[in-house]
Amino acid sequence: MVLKRIIPCLDVDRGRVVKGVGFVDLRDAGDAVELAARYEREGADELVFLDISASHERRRTGAELARRCADEIFIPFTIGGGIRSVEDAHAVLAAGADKVSVNTAAVARPELIDELARVFGSQCVVVAIDARRCDDAGQASRTGCVHTDGHRWEVVVEGGRRGTGRDAVTWAREAVARGAGEILLTSMDRDGTEDGYDIGLTRAVSDAVDVPVIASGGAGELEHLVEAIERGGADAVLCASIFHYGRYTITQAKRHMARRGVPVRLD
């Protein structure tokens, strides 16, 4: 039986965890390493750090964060944000990260996924996909999104600020074909809203690829985590606000999932 994972997501700006809605209106949630250590104690399976710092020296920022985390935590963690080359990835992995996440840079140059997988192995490569639902058939036609289970989703980049014209499901397939070991799938319509994951989007991508899909964007109640796995087909759930601000603990989340029949690691 494959255990389902709970993965706290920490959006990091200059060493501090921040959270907003759709990556804007950010508010402080604490020190990144202190929060990470707390989540490890509570039973988190993995952690994801997304460096959103305005610094132009992304490689240095990411490596320093990885080094600080590696000194304090012992569960796997992924770092994303500013990974544009094999050299960027090497700096972060050598500093202690287990995986790197790529998003905008991979959309701009898909060959980056091939290069990372070839050098580090697919198990180290997470492709993050931010997707927004197309409002109508006309918009979908203009952006090039295809019809998927009655809905259309466009890949967006730069924190959701720019559309790409790529269909999210098609891009997920290509990313896996190029060597992605996991897909981190965020609904920009749901991110920070606490209204629940976009189940249609999650299911469409989960059915389309043969690697683990991490559902992200919208968790507000513990039942949302169950829905993402049971109805959406996700292998893991990414959460932020419900843990950062003390609504629930990871222990509470895992106990709820276990009661609902979802296989999770219980310490």
End-to-end CA distance of the chain: 17
Is residue 130 annotated as a catalytic residue, yes or no? yes
Handedness of CA 5, 102, 178, 78 (dihedral sign): negative
Token pair recorded at residue 183: 């897909």
Rounded to whole angstroms, the Cα distance separating 73 from 96 reads 10
Partners of 237 in the beta sheet?
Answer: 6, 215
Helix axes 199-208, 168-178, angle to 10 degrees: 40
Annotated catalytic residue: which of 11, 45, 198, 235? Answer: 11
The distance from CA 22 to its chain's CA centroid, rounded to whole angstroms, is 13
The distance from CA 84 to its chain's CA centroid, rounded to whole angstroms, is 17
The distance from CA 191 to its chain's CA centroid, rounded to whole angstroms, is 11
Annotated catalytic residue: which of 51, 88, 98, 130? Answer: 130
Is residue 98 annotated as a catalytic residue, yes or no? no
According to DSSP H, which parts of the chain are helical? 32-42, 58-72, 86-94, 104-108, 111-120, 137-143, 168-178, 199-208, 222-230, 241-244, 250-259
Partners of 77 in the beta sheet?
Answer: 47
Rounded to whole angstroms, the Cα distance separating 161 from 164 reads 10
Residues designated catalytic: 11, 130
